[in-house]
Structure 1
Protein backbone atom coordinates (compact mmCIF):
# COMPACT_ATOMS: atom_id res chain seq x y z
CA UNK A 1 0.00 0.00 0.00
CA UNK A 2 1.30 3.47 -0.84
CA UNK A 3 1.67 6.04 1.87
CA UNK A 4 -0.45 8.97 0.80
CA UNK A 5 1.24 11.50 3.10
CA UNK A 6 4.69 11.43 1.49
CA UNK A 7 6.47 14.81 1.36
CA UNK A 8 7.34 14.83 -2.36
CA UNK A 9 9.75 17.77 -2.00
CA UNK A 10 12.11 15.73 0.17
CA UNK A 11 12.45 12.77 -2.23
CA UNK A 12 15.25 12.10 -4.67
CA UNK A 13 14.46 11.62 -8.37
CA UNK A 14 14.77 7.83 -7.96
CA UNK A 15 12.43 7.88 -4.95
CA UNK A 16 9.95 10.06 -6.89
CA UNK A 17 10.01 7.56 -9.75
CA UNK A 18 9.34 4.71 -7.32
CA UNK A 19 6.41 6.58 -5.74
CA UNK A 20 5.06 7.27 -9.24
CA UNK A 21 5.35 3.57 -10.20
CA UNK A 22 3.71 2.41 -6.97
CA UNK A 23 0.88 4.88 -7.43
CA UNK A 24 0.20 3.76 -11.01
CA UNK A 25 0.59 0.10 -10.05
CA UNK A 26 -1.86 0.44 -7.14
CA UNK A 27 -4.37 2.31 -9.29
CA UNK A 28 -4.41 -0.01 -12.33
CA UNK A 29 -3.06 -3.44 -11.34
CA UNK A 30 -6.39 -5.11 -10.46
CA UNK A 31 -8.19 -3.78 -13.55
CA UNK A 32 -5.32 -4.76 -15.85
CA UNK A 33 -5.24 -8.28 -14.36
CA UNK A 34 -8.99 -8.61 -14.91
CA UNK A 35 -8.59 -7.40 -18.51
CA UNK A 36 -5.67 -9.75 -19.20
CA UNK A 37 -7.48 -12.71 -17.63
CA UNK A 38 -10.45 -12.15 -19.93
CA UNK A 39 -8.12 -12.25 -22.92
CA UNK A 40 -5.90 -15.22 -21.98
CA UNK A 41 -8.43 -17.13 -19.84
CA UNK A 42 -5.82 -17.91 -17.17
CA UNK A 43 -5.53 -15.88 -13.94
CA UNK A 44 -1.92 -16.79 -13.20
CA UNK A 45 -0.75 -16.01 -16.73
CA UNK A 46 -2.72 -12.75 -16.67
CA UNK A 47 -1.02 -11.64 -13.45
CA UNK A 48 2.39 -12.56 -14.89
CA UNK A 49 1.67 -10.62 -18.08
CA UNK A 50 0.63 -7.49 -16.16
CA UNK A 51 3.67 -7.65 -13.91
CA UNK A 52 5.94 -8.11 -16.93
CA UNK A 53 4.37 -5.05 -18.56
CA UNK A 54 5.06 -2.95 -15.47
CA UNK A 55 8.64 -4.22 -15.29
CA UNK A 56 9.30 -3.52 -18.99
CA UNK A 57 7.81 -0.04 -18.75
CA UNK A 58 9.80 0.66 -15.59
CA UNK A 59 13.03 -0.46 -17.26
CA UNK A 60 12.29 1.59 -20.37
CA UNK A 61 11.10 4.75 -18.61
CA UNK A 62 11.16 4.80 -14.79
CA UNK A 63 9.40 8.20 -14.56
CA UNK A 64 5.73 7.28 -14.95
CA UNK A 65 4.67 10.84 -14.08
CA UNK A 66 5.94 12.04 -17.49
CA UNK A 67 3.28 10.07 -19.36
CA UNK A 68 0.12 12.03 -20.06
CA UNK A 69 -2.08 8.99 -20.66
CA UNK A 70 -0.50 6.15 -18.71
CA UNK A 71 -3.84 4.28 -18.61
CA UNK A 72 -3.92 3.98 -22.41
CA UNK A 73 -0.25 2.98 -22.51
CA UNK A 74 -0.84 0.25 -19.93
CA UNK A 75 -3.95 -1.16 -21.60
CA UNK A 76 -2.28 -1.22 -25.03
CA UNK A 77 0.86 -2.86 -23.61
CA UNK A 78 -1.17 -5.49 -21.74
CA UNK A 79 -3.37 -6.15 -24.79
CA UNK A 80 -0.31 -6.64 -27.00
CA UNK A 81 1.39 -8.86 -24.43
CA UNK A 82 -1.79 -10.96 -24.16
CA UNK A 83 -2.01 -11.31 -27.93
CA UNK A 84 1.65 -12.38 -28.01
CA UNK A 85 0.93 -14.95 -25.30
CA UNK A 86 -2.13 -16.22 -27.20
CA UNK A 87 -0.13 -16.50 -30.42
CA UNK A 88 2.58 -18.46 -28.61
CA UNK A 89 -0.02 -20.70 -27.02
CA UNK A 90 -1.58 -21.24 -30.46
CA UNK A 91 1.77 -22.29 -31.86
CA UNK A 92 2.19 -24.72 -28.98
CA UNK A 93 -1.36 -26.03 -29.16
CA UNK A 94 -2.75 -27.46 -32.38
CA UNK A 95 -6.25 -28.32 -31.14
CA UNK A 96 -8.92 -26.90 -33.40
CA UNK A 97 -11.19 -25.77 -30.55
CA UNK A 98 -8.40 -23.81 -28.89
CA UNK A 99 -7.54 -22.18 -32.21
CA UNK A 100 -11.14 -21.10 -32.88
CA UNK A 101 -11.47 -19.68 -29.37
CA UNK A 102 -8.19 -17.80 -29.71
CA UNK A 103 -9.26 -16.25 -33.02
CA UNK A 104 -12.43 -14.94 -31.34
CA UNK A 105 -10.39 -13.35 -28.56
CA UNK A 106 -8.04 -11.51 -30.89
CA UNK A 107 -10.62 -9.13 -32.26
CA UNK A 108 -10.22 -5.48 -31.36
CA UNK A 109 -13.87 -5.16 -30.35
CA UNK A 110 -13.44 -7.96 -27.82
CA UNK A 111 -10.40 -6.20 -26.35
CA UNK A 112 -12.25 -2.88 -26.14
CA UNK A 113 -15.21 -4.52 -24.42
CA UNK A 114 -12.89 -6.07 -21.86
CA UNK A 115 -11.28 -2.66 -21.22
CA UNK A 116 -14.74 -1.30 -20.40
CA UNK A 117 -15.36 -4.27 -18.10
CA UNK A 118 -12.02 -3.71 -16.36
CA UNK A 119 -12.70 -0.01 -15.86
CA UNK A 120 -16.15 -0.69 -14.40
CA UNK A 121 -14.58 -3.16 -11.97
CA UNK A 122 -11.84 -0.66 -11.11
CA UNK A 123 -14.49 1.95 -10.25
CA UNK A 124 -16.39 -0.60 -8.19
CA UNK A 125 -13.27 -1.75 -6.32
CA UNK A 126 -12.53 1.89 -5.53
CA UNK A 127 -16.03 2.40 -4.09
CA UNK A 128 -15.87 -0.91 -2.19
CA UNK A 129 -12.79 0.37 -0.35
CA UNK A 130 -14.91 3.19 1.10
CA UNK A 131 -17.50 0.85 2.65
CA UNK A 132 -17.32 -0.16 6.33
CA UNK A 133 -15.04 -3.17 6.82
CA UNK A 134 -17.72 -5.78 7.55
CA UNK A 135 -19.89 -4.61 4.68
CA UNK A 136 -16.91 -4.49 2.29
CA UNK A 137 -15.86 -8.03 3.23
CA UNK A 138 -19.34 -9.39 2.52
CA UNK A 139 -19.65 -7.46 -0.77
CA UNK A 140 -16.29 -8.74 -1.99
CA UNK A 141 -17.14 -12.34 -1.15
CA UNK A 142 -20.59 -12.11 -2.77
CA UNK A 143 -19.80 -10.22 -5.97
CA UNK A 144 -16.11 -10.77 -6.59
CA UNK A 145 -15.63 -14.29 -5.29
CA UNK A 146 -19.19 -15.43 -6.07
CA UNK A 147 -19.74 -17.10 -2.71
CA UNK A 148 -23.17 -18.13 -1.44
CA UNK A 149 -24.61 -16.52 1.70
CA UNK A 150 -24.13 -19.68 3.77
CA UNK A 151 -20.44 -20.00 2.87
CA UNK A 152 -19.84 -16.32 3.68
CA UNK A 153 -21.62 -16.68 7.03
CA UNK A 154 -19.44 -19.66 7.93
CA UNK A 155 -16.26 -17.99 6.72
CA UNK A 156 -16.88 -14.72 8.60
CA UNK A 157 -18.52 -16.46 11.57
CA UNK A 158 -21.72 -14.40 11.30
CA UNK A 159 -25.36 -15.29 10.65
CA UNK A 160 -26.87 -15.55 7.16
CA UNK A 161 -29.23 -12.68 8.01
CA UNK A 162 -26.21 -10.52 8.90
CA UNK A 163 -24.65 -11.39 5.55
CA UNK A 164 -27.86 -10.33 3.80
CA UNK A 165 -28.01 -7.11 5.83
CA UNK A 166 -24.41 -6.18 4.96
CA UNK A 167 -25.07 -7.00 1.31
CA UNK A 168 -28.18 -4.79 1.23
CA UNK A 169 -26.34 -1.92 2.95
CA UNK A 170 -23.43 -2.29 0.55
CA UNK A 171 -25.67 -2.20 -2.51
CA UNK A 172 -27.50 0.82 -1.10
CA UNK A 173 -24.20 2.66 -0.46
CA UNK A 174 -22.88 1.81 -3.93
CA UNK A 175 -26.12 3.03 -5.52
CA UNK A 176 -25.56 6.42 -3.90
CA UNK A 177 -21.97 6.62 -5.17
CA UNK A 178 -22.25 5.07 -8.63
CA UNK A 179 -24.69 5.53 -11.48
CA UNK A 180 -27.37 2.91 -12.00
CA UNK A 181 -26.00 2.08 -15.44
CA UNK A 182 -22.53 1.41 -13.99
CA UNK A 183 -23.98 -0.89 -11.34
CA UNK A 184 -26.10 -2.71 -13.91
CA UNK A 185 -23.05 -3.12 -16.15
CA UNK A 186 -21.11 -4.50 -13.19
CA UNK A 187 -23.85 -7.02 -12.40
CA UNK A 188 -23.99 -8.03 -16.06
CA UNK A 189 -20.20 -8.57 -16.09
CA UNK A 190 -20.25 -10.64 -12.90
CA UNK A 191 -23.15 -12.88 -13.92
CA UNK A 192 -22.28 -13.36 -17.61
Structure 2
Protein backbone atom coordinates (compact mmCIF):
# COMPACT_ATOMS: atom_id res chain seq x y z
CA UNK A 1 0.00 0.00 0.00
CA UNK A 2 1.41 3.37 -0.94
CA UNK A 3 1.86 6.16 1.58
CA UNK A 4 -0.72 8.23 -0.30
CA UNK A 5 -3.30 5.42 -0.14
CA UNK A 6 -2.56 4.92 3.55
CA UNK A 7 -3.04 8.62 4.33
CA UNK A 8 -6.36 8.57 2.46
CA UNK A 9 -7.49 5.56 4.55
CA UNK A 10 -6.49 7.38 7.73
CA UNK A 11 -8.63 10.37 6.75
CA UNK A 12 -11.59 8.12 5.96
CA UNK A 13 -11.22 6.18 9.21
CA UNK A 14 -11.00 9.43 11.20
CA UNK A 15 -14.53 10.31 10.09
CA UNK A 16 -15.86 6.84 10.92
CA UNK A 17 -15.66 5.06 7.55
CA UNK A 18 -15.99 1.38 8.48
CA UNK A 19 -15.08 0.14 5.01
CA UNK A 20 -11.80 2.04 5.14
CA UNK A 21 -11.12 0.56 8.58
CA UNK A 22 -11.91 -2.92 7.25
CA UNK A 23 -9.51 -2.34 4.36
CA UNK A 24 -6.78 -1.29 6.80
CA UNK A 25 -7.48 -4.33 8.97
CA UNK A 26 -7.47 -6.72 6.01
CA UNK A 27 -4.18 -5.30 4.78
CA UNK A 28 -2.30 -5.52 8.12
CA UNK A 29 -3.99 -8.16 10.30
CA UNK A 30 -2.27 -11.26 8.94
CA UNK A 31 1.17 -9.64 8.99
CA UNK A 32 0.72 -8.28 12.49
CA UNK A 33 -0.56 -11.65 13.70
CA UNK A 34 2.57 -13.37 12.36
CA UNK A 35 4.65 -10.69 14.06
CA UNK A 36 2.85 -11.15 17.39
CA UNK A 37 3.17 -14.93 17.02
CA UNK A 38 6.93 -14.57 16.64
CA UNK A 39 6.97 -12.96 20.09
CA UNK A 40 4.26 -15.01 21.83
CA UNK A 41 4.57 -18.44 20.16
CA UNK A 42 0.80 -18.75 20.60
CA UNK A 43 -1.53 -18.26 17.62
CA UNK A 44 -4.69 -17.55 19.64
CA UNK A 45 -2.91 -14.99 21.81
CA UNK A 46 -1.34 -13.38 18.73
CA UNK A 47 -4.74 -13.06 17.06
CA UNK A 48 -6.23 -11.62 20.23
CA UNK A 49 -3.42 -9.06 20.53
CA UNK A 50 -3.90 -7.86 16.96
CA UNK A 51 -7.66 -7.64 17.48
CA UNK A 52 -7.04 -5.53 20.58
CA UNK A 53 -4.66 -3.23 18.67
CA UNK A 54 -7.27 -2.65 15.98
CA UNK A 55 -10.05 -2.13 18.55
CA UNK A 56 -7.89 0.59 20.12
CA UNK A 57 -7.21 2.15 16.71
CA UNK A 58 -10.95 2.25 15.99
CA UNK A 59 -11.77 3.54 19.47
CA UNK A 60 -9.31 6.42 18.89
CA UNK A 61 -10.12 6.85 15.20
CA UNK A 62 -10.52 10.63 15.47
CA UNK A 63 -6.78 10.96 16.13
CA UNK A 64 -5.55 8.50 13.50
CA UNK A 65 -4.58 11.29 11.10
CA UNK A 66 -2.07 12.50 13.70
CA UNK A 67 -0.09 9.27 13.25
CA UNK A 68 2.64 10.06 10.75
CA UNK A 69 3.87 6.50 10.12
CA UNK A 70 0.89 4.20 10.60
CA UNK A 71 2.74 1.00 9.68
CA UNK A 72 5.41 1.68 12.30
CA UNK A 73 2.72 2.59 14.80
CA UNK A 74 0.77 -0.65 14.23
CA UNK A 75 3.85 -2.85 14.54
CA UNK A 76 5.02 -0.98 17.65
CA UNK A 77 1.58 -1.25 19.24
CA UNK A 78 1.52 -4.98 18.44
CA UNK A 79 4.98 -5.49 19.88
CA UNK A 80 4.14 -3.57 23.07
CA UNK A 81 0.84 -5.38 23.53
CA UNK A 82 2.59 -8.73 23.01
CA UNK A 83 5.27 -7.90 25.56
CA UNK A 84 2.63 -6.69 28.02
CA UNK A 85 0.76 -9.97 27.49
CA UNK A 86 3.91 -11.96 28.29
CA UNK A 87 4.54 -9.81 31.35
CA UNK A 88 0.98 -10.33 32.63
CA UNK A 89 1.29 -14.08 32.11
CA UNK A 90 4.57 -14.16 34.02
CA UNK A 91 3.03 -12.18 36.88
CA UNK A 92 -0.02 -14.48 36.94
CA UNK A 93 2.24 -17.52 37.19
CA UNK A 94 4.22 -15.96 40.04
CA UNK A 95 1.03 -14.92 41.83
CA UNK A 96 -0.54 -18.34 41.27
CA UNK A 97 2.55 -19.99 42.73
CA UNK A 98 2.43 -17.81 45.86
CA UNK A 99 -1.30 -18.28 46.21
CA UNK A 100 -0.87 -22.03 46.04
CA UNK A 101 1.79 -21.97 48.76
CA UNK A 102 -0.36 -19.81 51.04
CA UNK A 103 -3.38 -22.04 50.53
CA UNK A 104 -1.36 -25.14 51.30
CA UNK A 105 -0.26 -23.71 54.63
CA UNK A 106 -3.76 -22.72 55.71
CA UNK A 107 -5.84 -25.84 55.22
CA UNK A 108 -5.37 -29.59 54.73
CA UNK A 109 -8.20 -29.78 52.15
CA UNK A 110 -6.77 -27.03 49.98
CA UNK A 111 -4.96 -29.31 47.50
CA UNK A 112 -8.32 -30.85 46.51
CA UNK A 113 -9.99 -27.47 46.39
CA UNK A 114 -7.06 -26.06 44.43
CA UNK A 115 -7.34 -28.91 41.91
CA UNK A 116 -11.09 -28.35 41.50
CA UNK A 117 -10.61 -24.58 41.14
CA UNK A 118 -7.86 -25.12 38.58
CA UNK A 119 -10.08 -27.48 36.57
CA UNK A 120 -12.95 -24.98 36.63
CA UNK A 121 -10.69 -22.15 35.42
CA UNK A 122 -9.31 -24.38 32.66
CA UNK A 123 -12.86 -25.21 31.59
CA UNK A 124 -13.83 -21.54 31.62
CA UNK A 125 -10.76 -20.56 29.56
CA UNK A 126 -11.45 -23.38 27.10
CA UNK A 127 -15.09 -22.34 26.80
CA UNK A 128 -14.10 -18.71 26.16
CA UNK A 129 -11.57 -19.83 23.53
CA UNK A 130 -14.27 -21.87 21.77
CA UNK A 131 -16.65 -18.91 21.43
CA UNK A 132 -17.20 -17.56 17.92
CA UNK A 133 -14.76 -14.69 17.24
CA UNK A 134 -17.28 -11.85 17.48
CA UNK A 135 -18.85 -13.30 20.63
CA UNK A 136 -15.41 -13.86 22.15
CA UNK A 137 -14.31 -10.30 21.41
CA UNK A 138 -17.48 -8.85 22.96
CA UNK A 139 -17.17 -11.11 26.02
CA UNK A 140 -13.53 -10.12 26.56
CA UNK A 141 -14.21 -6.40 26.10
CA UNK A 142 -17.01 -6.54 28.68
CA UNK A 143 -15.60 -9.05 31.20
CA UNK A 144 -11.86 -8.60 30.94
CA UNK A 145 -11.52 -4.96 29.89
CA UNK A 146 -14.51 -3.86 31.99
CA UNK A 147 -16.15 -1.87 29.21
CA UNK A 148 -19.84 -1.03 29.37
CA UNK A 149 -22.23 -2.49 26.80
CA UNK A 150 -22.66 0.95 25.22
CA UNK A 151 -18.89 1.37 24.91
CA UNK A 152 -18.53 -2.02 23.24
CA UNK A 153 -21.42 -1.19 20.92
CA UNK A 154 -19.74 2.09 19.98
CA UNK A 155 -16.34 0.46 19.39
CA UNK A 156 -17.75 -2.32 17.22
CA UNK A 157 -20.51 -0.23 15.63
CA UNK A 158 -23.22 -2.61 16.65
CA UNK A 159 -26.30 -2.12 18.77
CA UNK A 160 -26.37 -2.50 22.53
CA UNK A 161 -28.96 -5.25 21.98
CA UNK A 162 -26.41 -7.16 19.87
CA UNK A 163 -23.83 -6.83 22.64
CA UNK A 164 -26.39 -8.07 25.15
CA UNK A 165 -27.39 -11.01 22.91
CA UNK A 166 -23.75 -12.00 22.35
CA UNK A 167 -23.09 -11.84 26.10
CA UNK A 168 -26.09 -14.09 26.75
CA UNK A 169 -24.72 -16.58 24.21
CA UNK A 170 -21.23 -16.42 25.75
CA UNK A 171 -22.45 -16.90 29.32
CA UNK A 172 -24.72 -19.77 28.26
CA UNK A 173 -21.93 -21.60 26.42
CA UNK A 174 -19.46 -21.06 29.26
CA UNK A 175 -22.07 -22.19 31.82
CA UNK A 176 -22.74 -25.36 29.85
CA UNK A 177 -19.02 -26.08 29.72
CA UNK A 178 -18.46 -25.74 33.48
CA UNK A 179 -21.86 -26.99 34.67
CA UNK A 180 -20.47 -30.43 35.52
CA UNK A 181 -17.97 -28.91 37.94
CA UNK A 182 -20.68 -27.17 39.92
CA UNK A 183 -22.93 -30.23 39.96
CA UNK A 184 -19.99 -32.15 41.44
CA UNK A 185 -19.08 -29.64 44.13
CA UNK A 186 -22.06 -30.11 46.49
CA UNK A 187 -21.55 -33.91 46.53
CA UNK A 188 -17.84 -33.41 47.17
CA UNK A 189 -18.50 -31.03 50.06
CA UNK A 190 -21.18 -33.35 51.50
CA UNK A 191 -18.79 -36.31 51.48
CA UNK A 192 -16.15 -34.28 53.30
CA UNK A 193 -18.59 -33.08 55.99
If the length of structure 2 is used for normalisation, what is the TM-score?
0.38
Question: Greater Rg, structure 1 or structure 2?
Answer: 2
